[in-house]
Amino acid sequence: MTRNVPFPDCIRTRNLSAVGSAYSSVSVSDFSQYVGLPEPEAVALVEQQEPAGEWSVDIDAGMVHPPARKADKAVDAAGVDEKLQKLTDFIGFLEKQ
């Protein structure tokens, strides 16, 4: 068993945000290390997150579930590529005139 090193609140908040961005689920054990709290306190931290219901804990499975991530910017890149192609085609059309 590893010993958790207590983190200042600003570090804990930053790490909580990083876990939320990086994971769709993470073990309670790993999560407690990431936020620098013993497991029971880490679980309580998840349960205190606002808005309620975005973070969840499955005690039976020993997993923490951060909020669902928003669509990645890579998905939006497809739309950018399409617009760039239309612009390129239009410029090509104008140059032929």
CA distance 90 to 85: 9
Confidence at residue 35, expressed as pLDDT on a 0 to 100 scale: 92
CA distance 23 to 30: 11
Q: What is the pTM of this model?
A: 0.64
Strand 56-58 versus strand 26-27 pairing type: unpaired
Q: What is the pLDDT along the chain (97 residues), one digit of tens a residue?
A: 555 556 788 888 899 989 988 999 999 999 999 999 999 999 999 998 877 778 999 999 999 999 887 655 555 666 788 888 888 988 888 888 7
Q: Report all structural domains of the chain as residue ranges with CATH numbers, in order of start.
A: 9-69 (1.10.10.10)
Given a contact cutoff of 8 angstroms between Cβ atoms, the answer to whether 50 and 19 are in contact is no
Confidence at residue 58, expressed as pLDDT on a 0 to 100 scale: 94
Confidence at residue 74, expressed as pLDDT on a 0 to 100 scale: 56
CA distance 88 to 8: 52
